[in-house]
């Protein structure tokens, strides 16, 4: 298969046929290079990781579920190093091309998965999302993408980043297939739920560039109209969303260092720009700093549960438009901070969030997200399919 977008790991030639007669027979997919596949290396975006971890002898349950459903695995996709980035660039394995805006980044860390789906190299792809690593690439590449309820998809045999924040998600171009994948991947913890109202997160729209907000706000109303739900404006938080991102940043860094301190100290891996600086800073997040952030996280969870209780879903912007591939480091950092303020509510609370590709702005794909309280993923998938069928 020709990899014209640099989406796949360059030295891992993989093709595993799915079980015959399954519901996904005839479909192809890629798995982000954090998922173990028996007999193939897992690099987690870093050569040192691959060199110091044994060749997997078992396949991650999420990958195996898709194979058992009949889909063919045809590639392991490039990811940002250690998944500790939101840009879509890897100093060791390359920077995938965004098929929908080739002069701009794909978003990360599930960059190769997004590029493979957006470039029609596969029908769908697995990714992981800690702080936006499925949602942002979905937005920047014009795809459907989901961060499910925390642990609704098995995280076993997936390279960890920050365990209380990590989730397994997926991308697709087609809303019906995107919904169908939920029946294969989600466990049986679904909550019976019938929404009647869409809450429109006004304060999160205010985070956007004025021209982008002007484009997206009416689309929130159109989603409500096409799904038969009543729109209602709300304020997600009376605080600054940057404060929520700061809570996320501290909790994530503490968990990352707790998870990886021994490996980093022992193997001294070489990290690329951005990731190197964040890894170097992670040890400074002590338990004394992390404990108040975790307490604040519980207050954020309580706030979001209060907002999302009852028969409601929340509509919010997923991300800004992607930065240019030529953007300087300070611009990339600003993009990271702006977008993670938007993605932090779902990450901190373990709630499901789906990106819907809806429009273009400055020749870039843009869209909106739907969020609900935990274990209401299936309803969000149904709403996404309904909205897509009525808006396109």
77 is catalytic: no
Number of CB atoms found within 10 A of residue 348's CB: 24
Rounded CA separation 377/358 (Å): 20
- For CA atoms 258, 261, 263, 269, the dihedral sign is positive
Of these residues, 133, 159, 335, 347, which one is catalytic?
133
43 is catalytic: no
- Cβ(255)–Cβ(308) below 8 Å: no
Parallel, antiparallel, or unpaired: how do β-strands 72-77 and 28-32 relate? parallel
How many helices (H) and strands (E) the chain has is answered by: 12, 10
Residue 358: in which H helix or E strand, if any? strand 353-361
Distances (CA, A) of 242 to 23, 47, 212, 344: 43, 34, 20, 9
Residue 25: in which H helix or E strand, if any? none
Rounded CA separation 258/285 (Å): 10
Instruction: Collapse the DSSP code of 120 into the 3-class scheme (helix H, G, I; strand E, B; otherwise coil) and give the result.
Output: coil
Tokens of 61: 């349950």
Largest CA distance in the chain: 56
Rounded CA separation 157/309 (Å): 33
Distances (CA, A) of 187 to 48, 94, 246: 33, 34, 31
Rounded CA separation 251/161 (Å): 12
Residues present in the chain in total:
392
- Cβ(313)–Cβ(373) below 8 Å: no
Rounded CA separation 201/203 (Å): 6
133 is catalytic: yes
Distances (CA, A) of 103 to 20, 95, 134, 148, 307: 40, 12, 20, 30, 39
Tokens of 219: 């689309």
Of these residues, 43, 77, 89, 109, which one is catalytic?
109
Could you give the residue numbers annotated as active site? 32, 109, 133
């Amino acid at each position: 298969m020709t990899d014209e977008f640099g989406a796949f790991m360059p030295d891992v030639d993989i093709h595993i046929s799915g079980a015959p007669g399954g519901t996904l027979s005839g479909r192809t997919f890629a798995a982000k290079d954090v998922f173990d596949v028996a007999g193939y290396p897992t690099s987690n975006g870093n050569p040192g990781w691959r060199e110091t971890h044994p060749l997997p002898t078992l396949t991650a349950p999420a990958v195996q579920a898709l194979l058992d459903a009949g889909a063919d695995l045809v590639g392991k996709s490039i990811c940002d190093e250690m998944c500790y980035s939101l840009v879509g660039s890897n100093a060791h394995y390359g920077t995938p091309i965004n098929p929908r805006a080739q002069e701009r980044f794909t978003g990360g860390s599930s960059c190769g998965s997004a590029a493979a789906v957006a470039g029609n190299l596969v029908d769908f792809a697995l990714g992981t999302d800690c702080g936006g690593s499925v949602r942002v690439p979905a937005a920047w590449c014009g795809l459907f993408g989901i961060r499910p309820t925390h642990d609704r998809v098995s995280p076993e045999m997936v390279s960890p980043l920050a365990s209380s924040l990590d989730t397994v998600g997926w991308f697709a171009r087609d809303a019906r297939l995107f919904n169908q994948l939920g029946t294969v991947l989600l466990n049986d913890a679904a909550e019976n739920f019938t929404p009647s109202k869409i809450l429109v997160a006004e304060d999160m729209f205010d985070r956007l560039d004025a021209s982008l907000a002007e484009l997206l706000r009416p689309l929130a109303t159109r989603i409500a109209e096409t799904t038969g739900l009543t729109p209602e404006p709300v304020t997600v938080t009376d605080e600054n969303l940057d404060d929520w991102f700061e809570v996320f940043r501290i909790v994530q860094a503490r968990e990352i260092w707790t998870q990886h301190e021994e490996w980093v100290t022992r193997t001294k891996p070489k990290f690329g720009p951005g990731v190197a600086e964040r890894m170097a800073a992670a040890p400074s997040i002590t338990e004394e700093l992390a404990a108040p952030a975790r307490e604040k996280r519980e207050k954020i969870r309580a706030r979001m549960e209060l907002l999302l209780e009852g028969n409601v879903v929340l509509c919010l912007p997923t991300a800004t438009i992607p930065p240019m591939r030529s953007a300087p480091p300070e611009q990339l950092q600003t993009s990271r901070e702006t977008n993670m303020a938007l993605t932090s509510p779902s990450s901190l609370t373990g709630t499901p969030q789906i990106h819907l590709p809806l429009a273009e702005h400055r020749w870039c794909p843009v869209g909106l997200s739907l969020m609900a309280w935990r274990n209401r993923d299936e309803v969000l998938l149904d709403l996404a399919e309904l909205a897509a069928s009525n808006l396109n």
